[in-house]
């Protein structure tokens, strides 16, 4: 059995692009002064810190800085984010293509992501990844987060594969790369700084090449033709 585990945000899911589209739409509906649109979007993106800061804090700050129609509460804005964001989610270029290719090659695929279960599951569904992955492991559901080793172990167990036959692909130097290396996984860095021994890629097509060469090399090295 051969397997690939992917991070979600910034790897299969272009969260940066989806978030800008969602925030623009939200400001157009709530913002009083249209001239503030670009500043609102950039403040949201800065406060969000790549999803590391929960939206309650982001919106608490934004409602202090901007005048919004109907003076919505933080709770109302967070609820809107959870409900509407998935409709703005965009896949990373070639994400679906790569998942489909892996499926035709009978390589099992899983997603390992930190975050809220409801949101991440809605995003995965919205992007049409459900049918292409065999396991979804979300930190809120399992009570452990990347880079903790346990979350990687949980994903391997769910797929029924060993660390030695699995590749991990992610875009966060600590959560993904350090975490996956520590869990004993062959690791591919996508758009991030990584140690020299880690394969670095900038497109998902390159990730596919890295996956191919890793598995081929593995087969040659072990003489295993399966």
CA gap 155, 166 in Å, rounded: 10
Write down the least CB distance from residue 223 to Mg ion, Å: 36
Q: Is 64 helix (H, G, I), strand (E, B) or coil?
A: helix
Write down the least CB distance from residue 181 to Mg ion, Å: 16
CA gap 149, 178 in Å, rounded: 10
Residue number, 50 or 60, with CB nearest to Mg ion: 50
Residue number, 7 or 80, with CB nearest to Mg ion: 7
Write down the least CB distance from residue 219 to Mg ion, Å: 29
Scored b (16 or more CB within 10 A) or e, 195-208 reads eeebbbbeebeebb
Interface ranges with Mg ion (CB under 5 A): 7, 9-10, 171-172
Write down the least CB distance from residue 7 to Mg ion, Å: 4
Between helices 15-30 and 74-88, what is the axis angle to 10°?
130
CA gap 218, 212 in Å, rounded: 10
Residue number, 68 or 210, with CB nearest to Mg ion: 210
Write down the least CB distance from residue 41 to Mg ion, Å: 20
Residue number, 68 or 114, with CB nearest to Mg ion: 114
Residue number, 132 or 189, with CB nearest to Mg ion: 189
Q: Is 113 helix (H, G, I), strand (E, B) or coil?
A: strand
């Amino acid at each position: 059995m051969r397997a690939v585990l992917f991070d979600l945000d910034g790897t299969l899911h272009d969260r940066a692009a989806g978030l800008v589209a969602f925030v623009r739409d939200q400001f157009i509906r709530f913002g009083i002064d249209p001239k503030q649109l670009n500043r609102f979007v950039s403040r949201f993106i800065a406060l969000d810190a790549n999803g590391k800061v929960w939206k309650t804090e982001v919106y608490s700050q934004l409602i202090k800085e901007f005048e919004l129609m109907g003076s919505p509460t933080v709770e109302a804005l967070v609820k809107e984010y959870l409900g509407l964001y998935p409709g703005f989610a965009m896949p990373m270029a070639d994400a679906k293509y790569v998942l489909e290719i892996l499926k035709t090659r009978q390589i099992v695929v899983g997603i390992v992501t930190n975050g809220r279960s409801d949101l991440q599951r809605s995003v995965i569904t919205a992007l049409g990844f459900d049918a292409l992955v065999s396991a979804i492991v979300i930190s809120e559901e399992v009570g452990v987060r990347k880079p903790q080793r346990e979350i990687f172990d949980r994903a391997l167990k769910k797929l029924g594969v060993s660390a030695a036959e699995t590749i991990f692909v992610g875009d966060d130097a600590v959560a993904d790369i350090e975490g996956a290396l520590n869990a004993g996984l062959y690791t591919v860095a996508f758009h991030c700084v990584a140690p020299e021994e880690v394969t670095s890629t900038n497109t998902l097509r390159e990730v596919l090449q890295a996956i191919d060469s890793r598995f081929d090399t593995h087969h040659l090295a072990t003489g295993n033709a399966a």
